């Protein structure tokens, strides 16, 4: 599993409006989940989830880190509702310092 790469030289990407406003899909979140390591717990807090949420995701999927991370991302999506867009997720990942190559697949036009 690839480790979360923190980008110390902030590079912010321009997300096309037609992509930015799209709701994040389960498939995108599953792909993203495969790109994080143990740092996902700190990302969860950055996404305004709680330590109790993190503990629940870990308890629900005790032997599968990717499933824990996917559950966390789905929890974020559920809380954000219609605000769980590609643009919102990209901004959060950028603000957290995630390297661009970790999430650039999100802005692919499809």
CB-based burial label for 106 (10 Å; 0-12, 13-18, 19+): buried
Instruction: List the CATH number of the domain containing 54.
Output: 1.10.533.10
Exposure string for 42-59, b = 16+ CB within 10 A, e = fewer: ebbeebebeeebbebbee
Token output for 104: 């650039």
Tally of domains within the chain: 1
- Would you say residue 101 lies in a domain? yes
Q: Which domain holds residue 64?
A: 26-107
- Would you say residue 72 lies in a domain? yes
Going by the DSSP 8-state scheme, the letter that residue 61 receives in this structure is S
> pLDDT tens digits for the chain (110 residues)?
334 444 455 556 678 888 889 999 999 999 999 999 989 999 999 999 999 999 999 999 999 999 999 999 999 999 999 999 999 999 999 999 998 899 999 988 65
- Would you say residue 6 lies in a domain? no
pTM: 0.86
CA 2 to chain CA centroid, nearest Å:
14
Residue whose pair of structure tokens reads 């769980």 in the numeric block:
84
């Amino acid at each position: 599993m690839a480790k979360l790469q923190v980008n110390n030289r902030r590079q912010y990407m321009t997300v096309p409006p037609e992509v930015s406003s799209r709701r994040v899909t389960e498939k995108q979140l599953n792909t993203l989940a495969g790109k994080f390591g143990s740092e996902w717990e700190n990302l969860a807090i950055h996404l305004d989830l709680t330590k109790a949420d993190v503990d629940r995701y870990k308890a629900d999927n005790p032997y599968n880190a990717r499933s824990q991370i996917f559950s966390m991302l789905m929890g974020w999506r559920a809380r954000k509702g219609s605000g769980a867009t590609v643009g919102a997720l990209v901004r959060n990942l950028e603000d957290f310092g995630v390297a661009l190559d970790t999430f650039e697949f999100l802005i692919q036009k499809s």
